[in-house]
Amino acid sequence: MSKQTKYLLDDSRIPEAWYNINADLPVPLDPVLNPGTMQPATPDDFAPLFPMSLILQEVSSERWIEIPEPVREVYSLWRPTPLIRARRLEAVLDTPAHIYYKYEGVSPVGSHKPNTAVAQAFYNKDAGIKAMTTETGAGQWGSALAFACNLFDIDLEVYMVKVSYQQKPYRRIMMETYGAEVYASPSERTHSGKGILAQDPDSSGSLGIAISEAVEAAATSGGSKKYGIGSVLNHVLLHQTVIGQEAIEQMEMAGEYPDILVGCAGGGSNFAGLSYPFIHHKITKDLDTRIIAVEPAACPTLTKGKFTYDFGDTAAVAPVVKMYTLGHTFVPAGIHAGGLRYHGMSPSLSALVEHGLMEALAVGQLATFDAAVQFAKSEGIIAAPESAHAIKVVVDEALKCKESGEEKVILFNLSGHGHFDMTAYQAYLGGELEDYAYPAEAVAEAMTHLPDVS
């Protein structure tokens, strides 16, 4: 065997620090606003939700933040994750492109989400917290925090978007196996949930609604519960940068440097995790790497949304941030990539797109599953529907190389496996999967509810 396929690092190569993009943004981020006063939030405003160590990370502009040893120890259960050259996909596509993927599906729960879940559970434990709340879309984030909370002896209450709760019962059982309590959202347990159900008893839920419920449950707990979030905020993206740091070292082992980086983007955490360490290169070494975020056509935040202040959640209880948004009241169609059904996008990622340092593309559900099945048949891995969005764009870029004859190096993040997403694959194989047209009217309506921050 002369051709190398896997690039592996040993435990000692688990990064020792997270990379903070805030140190290198072309323009500082706009301040986060308190949803009650619409004034810039202070660290104390976040204190009911997060321990101070995470709040300080959220606003830090230090370039490198040390990873605590107990977190690195848990990471060593699955990190460093492999970098794999997709030689069989290259052959099937008959492309001169070199395709690599960083595979985050090897974590105990099957995605990149534990990279931040373990860190968040550690800092909550360190602050003496005994219970947390969170939301989950597809169930990947909820499973990750359930796994992490169990390791650090913290109780967890999960609000799971109703459409996913129904489509993915096994994810719920997984969370319960780790000891978490799981509720379908909207639920009758919170004011936000009751409000939504009063308007629409059949609401399929959304990440925005589930966030409202989880935030409310923590904020009204009198300090006994804190909230954990799976994406969007700076500290979450920060914790994911272990992905890109390892990938840089592994691409060096392969003797190549990516011309194109690709990742799917829901709130932006796996994409940022892979790409931010490369953006550091792009800025400091003046490279022209193309960095592409891929989102669903049914929820096209970066490609069709507006860069403006909006609430992070549907019931307007979460902080107001400047980001690309489709409007916080927008409820996306029930596509199978539940983790990509979010109206907004991380503020730092939004700013990088706005400043032209990265680009975004939207793809349809059917084309995404075509690519996912092609990937499964060539590389063997059945991707999470979210990650499949990245595969679709990688296939397109590799086919462009075939036409032009260019030997480009493409690196993408395979953020998770789809072993709990068989109903989605079943629908695809049975010819029952739908494409959803861009919901222009619903977005236009949601845009009329943007907060006035003048």
Ligand X SMILES: Cc1ncc(COP(=O)(O)O)c(C=O)c1O
Please report, as ranges, the residues that interact with ligand X according to CB under 6 A.
Answer: 111, 137-138, 140-141, 231, 264-271, 339-340, 384, 386-387, 415-416
Distance CA 85, CA 315 (A): 44
Q: Is 426 exposed, middle or buried (0-12, 13-18, 19+ CB in 10 A)?
A: exposed
CB of 151 to ligand X, least distance (A): 20
CB of 416 to ligand X, least distance (A): 3
CB of 42 to ligand X, least distance (A): 26
CB of 419 to ligand X, least distance (A): 11
> Residue 451 — φ and ψ, nearest 5°?
-70, 150
Distance CA 213, CA 150 (A): 22
Q: CA 80, 174, 82 angle in degrees (round to 5)?
A: 15
- Closest residue to ligand X, judged by C-beta, is 339
Residues 409 and 95: beta-carbon distance below 8 Å? no
Distance CA 355, CA 178 (A): 42
CB atoms within 10 A of CB 226: 25
Mode of pairing for the β-strands spanning 409-414 and 260-264 = parallel
Is the Cβ of residue 123 or residue 141 nearer to ligand X in the bound state? 141
Residues 87 and 101: beta-carbon distance below 8 Å? no
Is the Cβ of residue 151 or residue 390 nearer to ligand X in the bound state? 390
Is the Cβ of residue 192 or residue 240 nearer to ligand X in the bound state? 240
CB of 249 to ligand X, least distance (A): 21
Number of H helices, E strands in the chain: 19, 15
CB of 3 to ligand X, least distance (A): 28
Q: Helix axis angle, 422-429 relative to 365-379, nearest 10°?
A: 100
313 dihedral zone (left: phi>0; alpha: psi -120 to 50; beta): beta
Query: Residue 303: CB partners within 8 Å, gap ≥ 6?
Result: 295, 360, 361, 362
Distance CA 290, CA 99 (A): 14
Mode of pairing for the β-strands spanning 131-136 and 64-66 = unpaired
Locate the DSSP E strands across 88-154.
Answer: 98-103, 131-136
CB of 127 to ligand X, least distance (A): 24
Q: Supply the DSSP symbol for 28.
A: P
**Closest by CA position to 256, among listed 2, 443, 4, 432:** 4
CB of 116 to ligand X, least distance (A): 9
CB of 117 to ligand X, least distance (A): 12
Query: Residue 372: CB partners within 8 Å, gap ≥ 6?
Result: 382, 383, 385, 388, 391, 392, 418, 425
CB of 112 to ligand X, least distance (A): 6
- 3-class state of residue 320 by DSSP: strand
